[in-house]
Each structure stands twice: as structure tokens, then as C-alpha cells.
Structure 1
Amino acid sequence: MGDVEGAMQTPDGAWRVEVVRRGRTRWYRIVHGEDVLDWLSIAAVERILDEAGVPRHLLVEADPAA
């Protein structure tokens, strides 16, 4: 599935963005409740968060292992 290299989330933890790597391939994943959107580009992450009304500037670093 890939190793999570880094993560950011909203202060309430409702939205989480992970940087995932498998071999030389890197992509992004959004976790929101039970919904997981995988294999995203950074542009797709930005679009999804913007459309959901999630202010990206409020994202804080999170434990990648969580």
C-alpha cells in the first residue's frame, strides 16, 4: 500500500492529508472520516480541500504513523 512519509491535518483531525511513497513513486491521500481518496496529485488535494471549504492554511503537521 505504501509508507506514509508525512501528514498534515485540520486542528480538529477531521481532514488528514498524507504523503505516501512506494518505491520511487510518491502520491497524496486524503482521509476524511471513513472516506479515503488515494493516488492524488497535490493539485487534486488542493481542489478537493477547496471545494469542501477546508482552509489549507490551517493544516498542521501530524504524526505520520497515526
Structure 2
Amino acid sequence: METVIESAMQTPDGWRVEVVRRGTTRWYRIVHGDDMIDWLSIAGVQRILTEAGVDLADLTDAA
């Protein structure tokens, strides 16, 4: 089954949040530099970014 990135948002300083789908399952992934955290809920994304000092308002649509 193929894994598809449905959409992505990023910050100017390199944080990227992706919405990922495989079949009917959707989850979030955070990518920052060489680090990737996969299989997150939106609450997990918010917690990790907040703890890292990333303002969620800084996320913009990625090309």
C-alpha cells in the first residue's frame, strides 16, 4: 500500500509538518533537519512544536 503526503506546512526556520495517508489511515509527521517523528496525532504535533518553542501561527503551506 502506498504512503502519500496529502499536505504539508512549514516554518521559515525549517520545521515541517506533513499530513500522511496510507489507505484510510491518516497521521502527522514532523521533519526538522535530519530528524523525523512519525505517526503523530495533531495533539502530539502541537505538544512537540510548543515544547520546541515553535509558534504554530508560523506554519505556512509548503510548496
TM-score normalized by the length of structure 1: 0.89
Match for 1:11: what amino acid?
P
Partner of 1:51: 51
Structure 1 residue matching 2:12: 3-state secondary structure? coil
4+ runs of 1 displaced by more than 4 Å? none
How many corresponding residue pairs?
Answer: 62
Q: CA deviation at 1:44?
A: 0.1
Unpaired runs of at least 5, structure 2:
none
* Code of the aligned partner of 2:41: S
Q: CA deviation at 1:21?
A: 0.3
Residue 6 of structure 2 aligns to which amino acid in structure 1?
A: E
What value does the CA root-mean-square deviation take over the aligned residues?
1.0
Residue 48 of structure 1: SS of its match in structure 2? helix
* Structure 1 unmatched ranges of 5 or more: none
- TM norm structure 2: 0.94
